[in-house]
Amino acid sequence: MSFRERVFSGVQPTGNLHLGNYLGAIKRFVALQASHDCIYCVVDMHAMTVWQEPSELARNTREVTAAFLACGIDPEKHIVFNQSQVAEHAELAWVFSCVARVGWLNRMTQFKEKAGKDRENASVGLYSYPVLMASDILVYRATHVPVGEDQKQHLELARDIAQKFNNDFAESIRGHGHGDAFFPLPEPLIQGPATRVMSLRDGTKKMSKSDPSDYSRINLTDDADAIAQKIRKAKTDPEPLPHDVAALERRPEADNLVGIYAALKDVTKADVLAEFGGAQFSTFKAALIDLAVSVLGPIGSEMKRLVRDPAYIDSVLASGAERARVIASETMQAVKQIVGFVGR
């Protein structure tokens, strides 16, 4: 069965939105608007899987929304909203909790990393996070999901859940006139030279919001001086840049900076090395600073302007939520019928 193409993705409002979130996700969200109907969500219910100070959660929700808008997402042509305003996400998550298998969730590496050694003390929400993520996507029957590399495993789980739902309820799905499959198998879109931006302090660790060192990441709200300082201090090795992409394989820090430059400029790593192969890091870093400041400077300023107007941000989220609810409630009504829940 063919499904209407629709894009869905989300970002957690957990503070410190960084260059990895921008290059791995938000920049891709912006590009997809030209070819698809897009739904972009500030996933505040996911954020809650680890403790969030309530006032910070609200502030960060508005800040991620501001980042979406500042990067170029159009909230009128597409849908921008926060997850908790559309109750169907949680409702479908329950049904999917009964479809997904414990063994599937036990394989999720992000839970193992985030729960760490104190697994007994992690929230149940942190464990079942990927089930809610599958609901976020499938409650809109979305077909394409732009994400960074770290979300690949969760996307595979969403596909497994969709497939199992379609199989388990195949007869009812057909009986209610939904053809052979009710849910599409959503495709991850993990593309470009910066699908996994690494820490500026350690090229083997992902750039992350929760890294205690602010020098490990470039925040979208960093000013030009902070961006310059962080890139100047970024870890490198003593060799000049190679001429060949293959030679970056054993040089994680060099590979990371070349990937960041390529993604910011919309070129390939090979293009970057054609320009800078043989150059010292001091020369390359100076060019990277200029490029990063020219791309991120205007985004940061616009974010700061937008967050000064919370009433406007809230109106964008309310309007988006209203439109999202129309699609989500239609899916949920059909799901209730399919699984045998009585009533509307």
Which active-site residues does the annotation give? 114, 206, 209
Angle at 111 between CA 235 and CA 113, to 5 degrees: 30
**Judged by CB under 6 A, which of 109, 123, 167, 210 binds ligand AQP?**
210
> Is residue 307 within the footprint of ligand AQP (CB under 6 A)?
no
Is there binding between residue 12 and ligand AQP (CB under 6 A)? yes
User: Considering beta carbons, is residue 24 or 186 the nearer one to ligand AQP?
Assistant: 24
Residue 208 binds ligand AQP, judged by CB under 6 A: yes
Beta-bridge partner residues of 10: 41
Q: Is the dihedral of CA 226, 232, 237, 242 positive or negative?
A: positive
Q: Which is nearer to ligand AQP, 47 or 332 (CB)?
A: 47
Residue 148 contacts residue 20 (beta carbons within 8 Å)? yes
Q: Which of 6, 7, 15, 25 binds ligand AQP (CB under 6 A)?
A: 25
Contact mark string toward ligand AQP, 94..133, x via CB under 6 A: ----------------------------------------
Residues 6+ apart with CB under 8 A from 29: 7, 9, 38, 40, 68, 71, 73, 146
Q: Judged by CB under 6 A, which stretch of 157-165, 205-213, 233-241, 317-325 contacts ligand AQP?
A: 205-213
Task: Report the residue from 6, 8, 15, 20 that binds ligand AQP according to the rule CB under 6 A.
Answer: 20
Contacting positions for ligand AQP (CB under 6 A): 11-12, 14, 20-21, 24-25, 147-148, 150-151, 195-197, 206-210
